[in-house]
Amino acid sequence: MKHKILIIEDDPTIQTQLKSLLSYNGYEVEAVTDFSKVMEQLKAFAPHLVLLDIKLPGNSGFEICSQIRTFSQIPIIFVTSSSTDMDELNSILTGGDAFITKPYNIAILLAKIAALLRRAYGSVQAEVLTWNDADLHLEGGFLEYKGQKADLTKNELKILYYLFKNAGKICPRSDIVDFLWDNQLYVDDNALSVNMTRIREKLDSIGLKGFIKTKHRQGYTL
């Protein structure tokens, strides 16, 4: 079963980008086209999750979120260029489940969508990510390479998930920290280094020495 996602976004460029991204990642996607009939389209499509902007023609995203909450508890993620503390607070008070600012980080957006869907509907299937013959088993929480396995902690799994999703790209330390600790304040940067050291030791033990590369003053890459 494909999860269905409804995009409530009036910027045609962002709307198209989100539709392409989500369709590519296996979701069934629709976007609202008539903002005077948002509730009608939502009820007809019956999505499993909604991506919602704040500034929209007609009713604001906050008003739409409040309306949805009168009849449904589906996960709602605000994806918006409005980034004030008051906007984020209002997103919570009106019933939103997550708040992501534009320009959004693709890996973080996809991870939040997957997490909210998993929380709301349970795991549909065990996802496995593969890079250079190494398999990251998200459900089992381990990395496998040529028959050998390395068990991972929750944080180690999240770090490797982020790197696998961005395989071949340089991932800045700040982006990994934001993803790992969900934008919490006062996170010690050394915490990432400690986790990375432990991951590398586990990778070395199953024959993956040098699997994660450090790019000086840039970040990490697979």
pLDDT score of 2 = 78
The 3-state DSSP class for residue 206 equals coil
Residue-by-residue pLDDT tens, the chain, 222 positions: 678 999 999 999 999 999 999 998 889 999 998 999 999 999 999 999 999 999 999 899 999 999 999 989 899 999 988 778 888 899 999 999 999 988 888 888 998 998 898 888 775 445 788 999 999 988 778 999 988 999 998 889 889 989 998 999 999 988 888 777 754 544 566 888 899 999 999 999 999 999 999 998 889 999
Q: What pTM was computed for the model?
A: 0.58
pLDDT score of 18 = 94
pLDDT score of 147 = 87
Q: Domains of the chain by range and CATH?
A: 4-121 (3.40.50.2300), 128-221 (1.10.10.10)
Burial of 175 (0-12, 13-18, 19+ CB in 10 A): middle
pLDDT score of 123 = 56
Sign of CA dihedral 106, 63, 118, 176: positive
pLDDT score of 65 = 95
Which amino acid does the sequence have at 40?
Answer: E
What per-residue string of b and e applies to 28-47 under the rule 16 or more CB within 10 Å gives b?
ebebbeeeeebeebbeebeb
Specify which residues 143 forms β-bridges with: 136, 150
pLDDT score of 186 = 47
